[in-house]
């Protein structure tokens, strides 16, 4: 007979230190698709908390207050990780004189999840009503994303005035994100033998003005809700030609435009078509950006409280994250979590323990200030 596996349990959330809690979360394996035991442990730890209503969908756990506050915040994080690379169990180490938690998930993003769990249990009467969201399948194909599933099945669970996503941001506020659109600019000609090149029309030569427009293009820096987003228009691929003795009759230049969140996807497309006016432009793919919403009611209080604890000021986010899913629901969102994003998914993934404590202290300051 095989022994039943012991079910992982979380420590008492009111007693546990937030860094110790992060270690426990890291040491419960939760690679995408296998988040079940961690989701069960989170649900079991939150279910007895009297001030929270706990909901479950698949391996997503949602816990929320009902205090009748005028504003509701979502604090969200994904509980899955990328595959382990010999970097578990987690351990405390000293790197460059700084204590760090070393191991898979320490950065992306179980530190942020630990901060949320720690506060969900402790803040019995926060200044905002809070919905704490712990979701699955972030590190895999977008159609499996647990936050996307909640948005589809239970949009009311995500309804809020503002959302904080605990993705690693070095404990700084990173607002919104740029949008992205991929297009192909095609030039055509007439094929011929290169021995009689005058009989053909060279499609690669015809692409020269396309490249010239890219080289001359001056990308904008755009202020959106008080943050400056830098744009970029880049050729990311070029193809043409079928043989060394044939004048090519077709050339494709693949272009990626990263655009500030003040522009819609449709406006971004129109802009790219204007830049390449006179050429054949086909849109391949695109995703809108997300406004940071830092000027929305109540959000300046969040910024002020966090800045007092961390000493930092908000910066724009350039990469695409799940804040865009909140933006699509009409909820402004920021990234705010411990860890250096460039160490996410790395074999030497590690997070300064000071940042985990700072994020917990900052969110606690925000949610307790002004509470009745
Ligand atoms: Zn992540």
**Residues 257-306 pLDDT 10s:** 999 999 999 999 999 999 999 999 999 988 888 888 888 888 899 999 99
Find the mean pLDDT for residues 93-116: 97
The answer, yes or no, to whether residue 209 has pLDDT greater than 80, is yes
Residue 138 is a catalytic residue:
yes
Write down the residue that tokens 């799940």 correspond to: 322
Average pLDDT, the chain: 94
In the chain, % of residues over pLDDT 70: 99
pLDDT of residue 1: 46
- What pLDDT, on the 0 to 100 scale, is given for residue 5? 63
Task: Give residue 170's pLDDT.
Answer: 95
pLDDT reading at 168 higher than 50: yes
Band of pLDDT at residue 318, cut at 50, 70 and 90: confident
Question: pTM score, two decimals?
Answer: 0.83
Catalytic residue among 35, 43, 59, 138: 138
- Each residue of 22-79: pLDDT tens digit? 999 999 999 999 999 999 999 999 999 999 999 999 999 999 999 999 999 999 999 9
pLDDT in tens, 14-24: 999 999 999 99
Percent of the chain with pLDDT over 90: 83
Residue 179 has pLDDT above 60, yes or no: yes
Catalytic residue among 80, 108, 139, 322: 80
Q: How far apart are CA 278 and CA 207, in angstroms?
A: 12
Looking at residue 332, its pLDDT comes to 86
Q: How far is the CA of 170 from the centre of ligand 1 (A)?
A: 13
CA of 228 to the centre of ligand 1 (A): 24
* Residues, Cβ < 5 Å to ion ligand 1: 108-109, 167
**Three-class secondary structure assignment of the chain:** CCCCCCCCCCCCCCCCCHHHHHHHHHHCCCECCCCHHHHHHHHHHHCCCCCCEEEEECCEEEEECCCCCCCEEEEEEECCECCCCCCCCCEEEEECCEEEEECCCCCCCHHHHHHHHHHHHHCCCCCCEEEEEEECCCCCCHHHCHHHHHHHHCHHHHCCCEEEECCCCCCCCEECECEEEEEEEEEECECEEHHHHHHCECHHHHCHHHHHHHHHCCCCEEEECCEEEECEEEEEEEEECCCCCEECCEEEEEEEEEECCCCCHHHHHHHHHHHCCCCEEEEEEEECCECCCCCCCCHHHHHHHHHHHHCCCCEECCCCCCHHHHHHCCCCEEECCCCCHHHCCCCCCEEEHHHHHHHHHHHHHHHHCCCC
Q: Distance between CA 167 and CA 339 in Å, rounded? A: 8
| Distance from the alpha carbon of residue 122 to the mean position of ligand 1, in angstroms | 24
pLDDT for the residue 273: 98
Question: How far does the centroid of ligand 1 lie from the alpha carbon of residue 67, in Å?
Answer: 30
Average pLDDT over every residue of 357-362:
97
Distance, in Å, from the CA atom of 174 to the CA atom of 29, rounded to the nearest integer, reads 28
What integer pLDDT is reported at residue 262 of this predicted model?
Answer: 92
pLDDT surpasses 50 at 371: yes
Rounded to the nearest whole angstrom, what is the distance from the C-alpha of residue 155 to the centroid of ligand 1? Answer: 21
Residue with the two structure tokens 């007979």 = 1
If you measure from the C-alpha of residue 38 to the centroid of ligand 1, how many angstroms do you get, rounded to a whole number?
A: 16
Which residues share a beta bridge with 64?
53, 131
Stretch 330-335: mean pLDDT, rounded? 89
């Amino acid at each position: 007979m095989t022994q039943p596996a012991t079910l992982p349990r979380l420590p008492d959330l009111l007693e546990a230190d937030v860094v110790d809690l992060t270690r426990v979360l890291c040491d419960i394996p939760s690679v995408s698709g296998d988040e079940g035991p961690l989701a069960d442990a989170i649900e079991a730890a939150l279910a007895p908390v009297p001030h929270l209503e706990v909901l479950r969908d698949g391996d997503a756990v949602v816990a929320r207050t009902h205090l009748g506050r005028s504003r509701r915040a979502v604090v969200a994080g994904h509980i899955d990780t990328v595959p382990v690379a010999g970097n578990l169990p987690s351990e405390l180490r000293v790197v460059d004189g700084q204590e760090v938690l070393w191991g898979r998930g320490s950065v992306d993003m179980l530190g942020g999840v630990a901060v949320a769990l720690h506060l969900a249990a402790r803040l019995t009467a926060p200044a905002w009503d809070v919905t704490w969201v712990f979701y699955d399948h972030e590190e895999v194909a977008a159609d499996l994303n647990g936050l996307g599933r909640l948005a589809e099945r239970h949009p009311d669970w995500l309804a809020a005035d503002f959302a904080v996503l605990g993705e690693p941001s070095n404990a700084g506020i990173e607002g919104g994100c740029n949008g992205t659109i991929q297009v192909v600019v095609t030039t055509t000609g007439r094929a011929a033998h290169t021995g009689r090149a005058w009989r053909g029309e060279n499609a690669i030569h015809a692409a020269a003005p396309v490249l010239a427009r890219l080289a001359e293009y001056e990308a904008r820096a755009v202020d959106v809700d008080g943050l400056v987003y830098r744009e970029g228009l880049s050729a990311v691929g070029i193809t043409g030609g079928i043989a060394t003795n044939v004048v090519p009759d077709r050339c494709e230049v693949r272009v990626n435009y990263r655009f500030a969140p003040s522009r819609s996807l449709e406006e971004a497309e129109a802009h790219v078509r204007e830049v390449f006016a006179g050429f054949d432009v086909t849109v391949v793919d695109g995703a809108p950006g997300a406004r940071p919403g830092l000027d929305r009611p109540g959000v300046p209080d969040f910024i002020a409280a966090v800045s007092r604890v961390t000493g930092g000021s908000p910066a724009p986010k350039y990469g695409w994250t799940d804040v865009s899913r909140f933006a699509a629901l009409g909820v402004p969102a920021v990234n705010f979590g411990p860890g250096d994003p460039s160490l996410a998914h790395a074999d030497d993934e590690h997070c300064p323990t000071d940042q985990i404590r700072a994020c917990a202290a900052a969110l606690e300051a925000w949610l307790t200030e002004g509470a009745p």
